[in-house]
Amino acid sequence: MAITSNDPPRTLNAAQIAEILPHRYPFALVDKITDYQPGVWARGVKCVTLNEPFFQGHFPGQPVMPGVLILEALAQTGAVAALSLPENRGKLALFGGVKQARFRRQVVPGDVLTLECELVEQHGPMGIGKATAWVDGVRAVNAELTFVIAPREGGNAQG
């Protein structure tokens, strides 16, 4: 999957992402959104450093980013696309499932993950995204992600 657009890129920095997603350290896994189309797709970046807390216990001496965290970063990228729609602002995008996940390359400190998620189907609050993570142009992970858009507890959801 290579998401392309003829429009000028729309970018979001970490502070702007935090306005859309409720994730905070250590679970905010997208450093920047480099382009997106609300409700359709998003492309983001995750800079993987040795300072990540999960490297302390995940193969010390030969650190590898856990595949489930790469899937989470892909899901957060897709959530930015879904929650950027005005009717979804202030809501949550929850994981509903993962299908056809393939881990093709290890991700290690120093890698820069390019995260892409295209929302290919949505029926009411449920949807499916096709997601791929790349390192230096080489596919590292791809999967089909199912999500559910839900209101935040405590009446914080808008719409």
CATH superfamily entry for domain 14-155: Hotdog Thioesterase (3.10.129.10)
Rounded CA gap, 55 and 59, in Å? 7
CB-based contact 149:157 (threshold 8 Å): no
Positive/negative CA dihedral, 86, 91, 97, 103: positive
> According to the model, what pLDDT value does residue 69 have?
97
Q: Which residues are catalytic?
A: 58
Predicted confidence (pLDDT) at residue 156 exceeds the cutoff of 60: no
User: Per residue in 64-73, pLDDT tens?
Assistant: 999 999 999 9
Sheet with strand 41-47: strands edge to edge:
32-37, 41-47, 112-123, 126-135, 138-151, 91-103
CB-based contact 16:31 (threshold 8 Å): no
CB-based contact 45:111 (threshold 8 Å): no
Q: What is the mean pLDDT of the chain?
A: 92
Give the rounded percent of residues in the chain with a pLDDT score beyond 90: 85
CB atoms within 10 A of CB 127: 21
User: Per residue in 133-142, pLDDT tens?
Assistant: 999 999 999 9
- What residues contact 122, with CB distance under 8 A and at least 6 apart? 82, 128
Rounded CA gap, 158 and 90, in Å? 5
Predicted confidence (pLDDT) at residue 2 exceeds the cutoff of 90: no
> According to the model, what pLDDT value does residue 128 have?
98
> According to the model, what pLDDT value does residue 60 have?
80
Q: Domain ranges in the chain?
A: 14-155
Rounded CA gap, 78 and 39, in Å? 9
- Strand pairing class (138-151; 91-103): antiparallel
> According to the model, what pLDDT value does residue 70 have?
98
Q: What confidence tier does 154 reach under pLDDT thresholds 50, 70, 90?
A: low
Three-class DSSP category at 149: strand
